[in-house]
Amino acid sequence: MDPSQLYRDLGCIPVINAAGNQTVIGGSRLSPAVQQAMIDANRHYVDMKELQLRTGEIIADLVGAEAAFVTPGCGAALALSAAACMSVGNPARMEQLPDTTGIPNDFLFQARQHYHYERCLTIFGGNLRLVGDSDGTTAAQLEAAIGDNTAGIHYFASGDEDSSILELEELVAIGDRHGIPVIVDAAYQVFPLDRFAYYTQSGASFVGFGTKYLGACNSTGILAGKKELIEAAFMHSFIGFETGGYETLGRPLKVDRQEVVAVVVALKEWLALDHDARIAEHWVRAEKIITALSALPHVQAQRHVEDNSLSNGVMLTLDTDALGKTAADVVQRLKAGDPSIWTKGQANRLRIAVAHLVDDEIDIVIDRVRAAIS
């Protein structure tokens, strides 16, 4: 049977992923080894607390952190981190949240880093307090903002170079001076591998990752960091709620045994993978697309290199005046087809990510892009 028929039978149009690791279309594709591990995990039940603790030890050892555990995505890792900051070592506060009356709940955040996912810190009662302005934040401004209601400092590891942003090392130093935990959203900072290790070994109290970026399920993540604080976050996890003896918060944030196993197997694969070969394969696919589309009038095709090499591919630059359409027009036409093709584009630039294209999808993408532009 055509695998796409599964989605058609459910009333959905299958998608060809030329956009990268996008949550809204499923996030990741599992390797055969990860799929088999999930099948094997399904055969038996397991004590979920034991599984979370033992796999957490394995993950911490693999990434060089004091402690870690599997979460249902990086967003959950941030939410659990915030809960831990507001209640660590205080059972009464654990059970009082999300009511923060009398509990420090401000999370300081550089104004220039204002972004979509910061709201994860507010789920269990946290309050975001932006420091500085659109021109940047100074160390003096951040230290001046620390007060009796400060619960933590947040840092978004975007990977972008910006001299107006205080670097993580400086935030950790400030946090250490004032006894304030630092939470890092490093969702997609899993490559290069030395960058992955940099965040886990940065001295930050909490570091969250999305494991869809390294080949685990779209629904999973890792929370790593300092042992005492990770244990506090664990108390707020779904299994902490079930087994810890306190009415904590994270019961909705559940992961299944198959997902936990998948994270460990995918992480081991990712750390052992020949990434030079992985990236070389990206360029084989990209060159096929570039060769096929370079002959189109009013279109320039060249390699698109991502800093973290997760979604390398092809960048098409369109002469929008001559073509009478923008990149957004082409994106919408590709998305409206069957199968739907998801790409990214704005103004006169259209990006085709190649990492997740399989089988005959490259030829389909070439044909459909050619038709959408012509």
- CATH number, domain containing residue 37: 3.40.640.10
- Supply the pLDDT for residue 327: 96
Give the integer Cα–Cα distance in Å for 197 and 330.
39
Q: 302: which strand partners?
A: 315
pLDDT beyond 80 at 1: no
The 10s digit of each residue's pLDDT in 128-148 is 999 999 999 999 999 999 999
Residues 161 and 12 in one domain: no
Residues 22 and 154 in one domain: no
Cβ atoms of 203 and 184 closer than 8 Å: no
Q: Which value, to the nearest 10 degrees, does the dihedral of the CA atoms of residues 16, 18, 19, 21 take?
A: 70
Give the integer Cα–Cα distance in Å for 314 and 302.
6
What is the domain range of residue 331? Answer: 5-27+274-373
Enumerate residues 6+ apart whose C-beta is below 8 A from 253.
71, 72, 76, 79, 80, 237, 238
- Supply the pLDDT for residue 53: 98
- Supply the pLDDT for residue 89: 87
Give the integer Cα–Cα distance in Å for 8 and 103.
50
Residues 268 and 241 in one domain: yes
Alpha helices in 64-96, H assignment, sequence order = 74-87, 91-96
Give me the mean pLDDT over the 274-286 stretch. 97
Residues 333 and 349 in one domain: yes
Give me the mean pLDDT over the 263-289 stretch. 97
Domain boundary among 253, 272, 291: 272
Residues 85 and 152 in one domain: yes
The 10s digit of each residue's pLDDT in 93-109 is 999 999 999 999 999 99
Give me the mean pLDDT over the 29-57 stretch. 98
Indicate the average pLDDT of the chain: 96
What is the pTM assigned to this prediction? Answer: 0.95
Q: In Å, what is the CA distance from 349 to each residue of 19, 306, 314, 331?
A: 13, 15, 10, 10
Residues 71 and 217 in one domain: yes
Cβ atoms of 353 and 311 closer than 8 Å: yes
pLDDT band at 4 (very low <50, low <70, confident <90, very high): confident
Domain boundary among 227, 250, 272: 272
Q: What is the CATH number of the domain that holds 17?
A: 3.90.1150.180
Residues 286 and 333 in one domain: yes
Domain boundary among 272, 302, 317: 272
The 10s digit of each residue's pLDDT in 295-348 is 999 999 999 998 889 989 999 999 999 999 999 999 999 999 999 999 999 999
Residues 305 and 347 in one domain: yes
Residues 67 and 208 in one domain: yes
- Supply the pLDDT for residue 197: 96
Domains of the chain: total: 2
Residues 15 and 47 in one domain: no
Residues 18 and 39 in one domain: no
The 10s digit of each residue's pLDDT in 217-263 is 999 999 999 999 999 999 999 999 999 999 999 999 999 999 999 99
Residues 235 and 192 in one domain: yes
